[in-house]
A and B are shown apart, each in its own frame.
Chain A
Amino acid sequence: MHEAASRMLFDEEVDKLGPELLDSRRWILLKREYPMLEIEFFADDGARLRMRLVCNDWNERPPSVVFIDAQGQALSSIERDPSGVFNNSAHPSTGKPFICMKGVREYHTHPSHTGDAWETVRNNDRFTLGGILTQIWRVWRKLH
């Protein structure tokens, strides 16, 4: 995908994550500089989840999602969830824990899911950047 088109779509979608949404969901946008989007979720029990979405080639490819610490370093382990979306094993490509969920690059590139093509869902409203974040957030909120 042409970088200018990818950047335009990225900016358009991130712009729509308005203050009403961020406040009510307790999300903070830490950094937005194409192709990177860093975001942190907060829960009532004090838990936090910080992630970096790497959105190069958006939306020809889904975002890569990396769990990061307060210094921006990739985490080597994460909290698991019962459904297995938060996968603590090493991804074959990145060697890091990953989100095993449709709409995330590490899912679609995992050998277990290569038949589940991103192209079949990429234009659905569930799979905008905000939609993907919402799906991840709801998984995490089940834990907190």
Chain B
Amino acid sequence: MDEHHEKFVEVRVITTSGVYPEAGFDRVPEHQPVDDVLKKAARKLHLADTSGWLAIVAGRKIDASKSYRENALQGRVEIDWGPDHGAGGHA
């Protein structure tokens, strides 16, 4: 008989406005979209507008609309989350 064992990842989100969770890691199913934890982080860290922010794990940009599994993430995951490079120039 097949038995389904759900896999989990441990995740935390690091920003210049603080870290979520404040201590340790959140344990979440690996099929959960990464966006879910980013939304929690935004609420906890009082981030009102994160449009266009990048989620980076170990130097690799990930797709936050996809799950940890779809992003090939497992184990402990530290997400560096913040705005993209600045724009300007032409002076």
Contact = CB atoms under 8 A, between A and B. Distances in A.
Chains A and B bind each other: yes
A136 B86 contact: yes
Interface in A90-132: 99-104, 107, 110, 112-113, 124-126, 128-132
A101 B87 contact: yes
A17 B69 CA distance: 30
A18 interface: yes
Interface in A7-38: 13, 16-18, 20-21, 24-25
Contacts of A110: 91
Interface residues of B, number: 25
Contacts of A87: 89, 91
Contacts, number: 98
Given A100-B91, A125-B47, A125-B50, A21 B16 contact: yes
Nearest to B16: A130
A72 interface: no
Interface string B42-86: 000001111010100000000000000000000000101011111
A18 B18 contact: yes
Nearest to B89: A84
A132 B86 CA distance: 8
A73 interface: no
A134 interface: yes
A131 B89 contact: no
A134 B82 contact: yes
Given A24-B14, A133-B16, A101 B80 contact: no
A126 B49 contact: yes
Given A128-B17, A139-B86, 15 more contacts: A20-B19, A21-B14, A21-B80, A83-B88, A85-B86, A89-B91, A101-B87, A101-B88, A101-B89, A126-B49, A130-B16, A131-B16, A131-B83, A134-B82, A135-B84
